[in-house]
Amino acid sequence: MLTLDRSETTSTLNYSKLNSSIQETFTAIDRFEWQAVDEIMQMREQQLYLQAGYKNFEEYCQAELSAWGGYRRINQLLGAKTVIDASGELGKHIKNERQARPLVRLAKEPEKLKSAVALALEGNSSPSESDFAAAAKKLVPSTPRKKVKEPLVPENIESIASLKQQHQLELERLEQDLRIGLQVEATARAEAQIKEQLSAYQELLQQQKEQNIQLQQRLDEMEGLRQLEIENQQLLSRIQDLENAVQQHPDQQWGNTMTQQATKALNKQVKQSLEKTIDLRSLSVEAPKENAQECLRLMGMALGNLASAMNSAKVLEAAAIILGSDPTKEAIAHRAEQLQMLPQAVNEIRAVLSKPGCSWQDYWAVAEKYQSIEKDYRAELSTDEIKLITGLSQASAQPQTIKVGSIVAHADPYRTLYAERGEVIEDLGDELVVAWDCWKEQSKKTDRYSRDELRFCQSE
């Protein structure tokens, strides 16, 4: 751009340089205006004006951009942006909003719009605003209005005709501005409603998942109670049989022949049963192969309760061997309380490991509650689950940083770029410049983002 020195006289100016400077200045104004349109669209789409306390986009425009035409001017620029995008490759020949203004009414009919631009370009590589207006009018003529003939003074005919034409153009422009404004506002409201509905659906889904986990835990507890109830009924039946036998034979002595024979038979059965019984000490060395930890846990807790009731040192020792604690009532009770949490711990940890994209932070938020029984719940997990935990731990120790060359996607799941792929091509310090694959065929191929707005692409 040519900069004129005030000390230079008019006679020394060169027409070519001055004309080039004027054209460069207007070109720069148009370029900055288009740049402002991109930033305005970001302000509207991301609703950043809410951070400043504005209720809607129109209020923001009237308050902050009134010096540049306010909401009305912004709608004109947005309408011009719509025309350029709908024109495809031909849109690059539209240099500013003034040239796009007569084409706005064709924005909803892309084929007619492209035909109008092509018509304006016939024999003219740099068409003006009037060229575009004439092409649009030729393709879609304005509906003529019925005119009432009035006597005109000859000298005022030209001035009246000029005023009518200006008035007609102004009415068309105002009508188009109103239509674009209503469309923009309706789109913004629809997007807000969709976001609210998605948020509500996600919260409902999370609640259902939590309820399913609680129901499963409750079913497991009820199954355990049912087994205990069956065992209690069997014991009660056996006790009742013994009491009936005592009542029927209160004076019977063990010294008679029948009693001695019955005693021998009973001793033989007891001996056979003891031979088939697993030694508690052997269980601590080699546990049953099927559901080993659960068997030992239940047996140890049962022995602990039995030891407390019988006050037996040997039973305490057996319970301590199985549970892996000191042979004291306090130690066994504490260990039993820990193991009661084991089923719930295994269920919660497996639930978080099964989630897609599980991170170390997700796992640790659950595992931290069960640090005291880490060895116990790890013994219940499969080899693949242990490997997954190890991998999450190693990944958390080496955090990655998004930098030049990183393949990224948008971090906001509500943005259309969330599922797209882009590459960081420049690091500006506080911001990164990303080139999106889906923008290769568009006029705008890159945009700037903070690191918090980006994430590593899933495919990487």
**pLDDT tens-digit readout, 267-278:** 454 344 434 444
CA angle 5, 7, 10 (to 5 degrees): 85
| Per-residue pLDDT tens digits for 318-351 | 777 777 778 787 887 888 888 888 889 899 989 9
Lowest mean pLDDT among 162-171, 278-287, 305-314: 278-287
All residues at 6 or more sequence positions from 17 whose CB lies less than 8 Å from its CB, including other chains:
2
Q: Which run of H or E residues covers position 178?
A: helix 157-248
Whether the CB-CB separation of 358 and 323 falls below 8 Å is answered with no
More confident residue, 118 or 305: 118
For residue 4, pLDDT over 70 is answered with no
The values of phi and psi at residue 425, to 5°, are -110, -10
Q: How many residues would you count in the chain?
A: 460
| pLDDT value at residue 257 | 46
Lowest mean pLDDT among 51-65, 117-131, 249-263, 312-326: 249-263
Question: In whole angstroms, what is the distance from residue 161 CA to residue 143 CA?
Answer: 17
* Closest of 121, 151, 119 to residue 136, by C-alpha: 119
What average pLDDT does this structure show over 69-87? 88
For residue 393, pLDDT over 70 is answered with yes
Distances (CA, A) of 121 to 31, 104, 114, 242, 347: 21, 17, 11, 110, 70
| pLDDT value at residue 121 | 86
**Torsion angle, CA of 199/201/203/209, rounded to 10 degrees?**
-150
Whether the CB-CB separation of 61 and 181 falls below 8 Å is answered with no
pLDDT band at 143 (very low <50, low <70, confident <90, very high): low
- Global pTM reads 0.30
Bridge partner residues of 222 (DSSP)? none
Burial of 59 (0-12, 13-18, 19+ CB in 10 A): middle
| pLDDT value at residue 454 | 93
More confident residue, 114 or 267: 114
Bridge partner residues of 432 (DSSP)? 427, 449
Q: Is 13 helix (H, G, I), strand (E, B) or coil?
A: coil
pLDDT band at 258 (very low <50, low <70, confident <90, very high): very low
* Closest of 302, 252, 254, 262 to residue 280, by C-alpha: 302
Residue type, 139: L
| pLDDT value at residue 263 | 44
